[in-house]
Structure 1
């Protein structure tokens, strides 16, 4: 019996994208939006959907991804830069099925690397295993130059904001900063975290979307909202008890949306290509557009 046309189309789509790598930067205008918790839960949801996920964590301290998951990360991307470790040796596996690359110290060192160190670092990512489908970057808050560099290098940007006025204002300011210095980056996805109701989240997004379109010429996409969950605590950012609740369903919906985002021509080129772009966009890199970027205004 012939396979239905829609099944054939879906099979072809899967075949075409199975070797593609999608790199997504999650950022926020400041602290308190729940970005790292969102990264952890989104990574877990993507893993449950059959995707191989790597989280690149730009944060340091107990509040980063490994810290919240209770994992001991003895090494960092900086150890790869110093040639003390391979990328494979630095990557940490979580019990939830996704991998983490601690990169807080290493990211800060990128702008100081010479040509030889840059070539070594790019080559280090060429053979990382397993082949990842999605890379989520947990960007450190409050570093405008790094956020811009990550925006230039990743395929998609997810801006996480909470209903707090300060969080919304900071998120909008970050979009304005990136958009003003990165003219070709026009896809921004908004994730409203800790929303009390869906109406509240929709209102926040609608206001942000209207302002961004009118004053910045930027189109925002609504990734969704994560309901406020009082049972969630910093020491347990991924509780099993919430997987069947609206909290877990919200991340499942966000993961499914991300999976079905359309692919662009430059996607699927591998982590080494991402690192090359990131190095070219580092604030200290010579001969790049980043030299024209001033401090955050």
Structure 2
């Protein structure tokens, strides 16, 4: 039987009171555009509190967070692990204060066992050299994450406030439970706040508690806000374009609670390798 927790502060505390580094792997049940907007704004809000943040696009079949960014052209982490490009060219600083990299895009089907070993080492090194690593991931045909190291961090399920997303979230939870067994999963809701977000949490937690071997806890919510969509169309984050908007306040609050629940950020710059640093 799963443990059901709805308190957001407790959920964040459970995410953060872990040995460093802070590694969060996101699986989204929301449309790709909503997922990307959430991750970019979350990354920017975490960078805004002084954390070094690396966002990795590990998607191949769906549209990942880096897919719409023209700057992700220099190379992938897979190519860097093979020595085909410099790591500094694959881990790119963004003007919002965080760095972003693509795992392999369409190349992942070509991973050899040696590639995978190198990628596991590289991923773990990047996680260790940044305050927070956010992975935009998806499950493969065998319900596994792209890299074993991704499952060693915290899993966060992103859910939007619509019936299709909630139904997709149930399916994702079942796949996680079958493949990874009993473990903790955080829930982040976008497009809803207050009582509505609480009701979504309750429904998801009820399903997890009755049918799945998952410990579900809420980590936060972001309300529906036209300013978020407007900022996205402008290629900006809402905390930059519309800092007083409800969504901007929600992202800042979420980042601030990360800061208060865990140890202070070290102020490290984004590590492109063991010794070299990428500035932002």
Where on the TM-score scale, by shorter chain, does this alignment land: which range? 0.7 to 0.9
What residue in structure 1 maps to residue 209 of structure 2?
213
What residue in structure 1 maps to residue 131 of structure 2?
133
What residue in structure 1 maps to residue 4 of structure 2?
none
- SS at 2:37's partner residue? helix
Deviations 1:48-85 (A, max 9, x none): 11111100112469964345455343211231243202
Q: For CA contacts below 8 A with separation 6 or more, give which structure has more relative contact order.
A: 2
Deviations 1:199-250 (A, max 9, x none): 2111111111112112214221111111112131443351323222221121
Q: How many residues align?
A: 244
Structure 1 121/161 Cα, relative in aligned 2: closer, same or farther at 3 Å? closer
Say which of 218, 225, 231 aligns to 1:229.
225
Structure 1 CA distance for aligned equivalents of residues 138 and 127 of structure 2: 25
Whether the 8 Å CA contact 1:18–1:133 is kept in 2: the answer is no
What residue in structure 1 maps to residue 237 of structure 2?
238
What residue in structure 2 maps to residue 153 of structure 1?
151
Structure 2 CA distance for aligned equivalents of residues 207 and 55 of structure 1: 30
What residue in structure 1 maps to residue 86 of structure 2?
86
Structure 1 71/52 Cα, relative in aligned 2: closer, same or farther at 3 Å? same
Structure 1 62/202 Cα, relative in aligned 2: closer, same or farther at 3 Å? closer
Superposition pairs of residues 90-101 of structure 1, within 5 angstroms: 90-101=90-101
Structure 1 CA distance for aligned equivalents of residues 62 and 127 of structure 2: 27
Q: Which has the larger radius of gyration?
A: 1
**1:105 aligned to 2:105?**
yes
Superposition pairs of residues 248-263 of structure 1, within 5 angstroms: 248-259=248-259
Gaps of 5+ in 2: 1-16, 264-270, 272-280
How large is the RMSD of aligned CA atoms in angstroms? 3.4
- SS at 1:44's partner residue? helix
Structure 2 CA distance for aligned equivalents of residues 151 and 128 of structure 1: 11
Q: TM-score, normalised by structure 2?
A: 0.73
**1:176 aligned to 2:174?**
yes
Superposition pairs of residues 56-95 of structure 1, within 5 angstroms: 56-59=56-59, 64-68=64-68, 70-95=70-95
Whether the 8 Å CA contact 1:76–1:90 is kept in 2: the answer is yes
Structure 1 18/176 Cα, relative in aligned 2: closer, same or farther at 3 Å? closer
Deviation at 1:35, TM superposition (A): 1.4
What residue in structure 2 maps to residue 20 of structure 1?
20
Deviations 1:139-161 (A, max 9, x none): 14786634485686341111111
Point out the more displaced range, 42-51 or 210-219. 210-219
- SS at 2:130's partner residue? coil
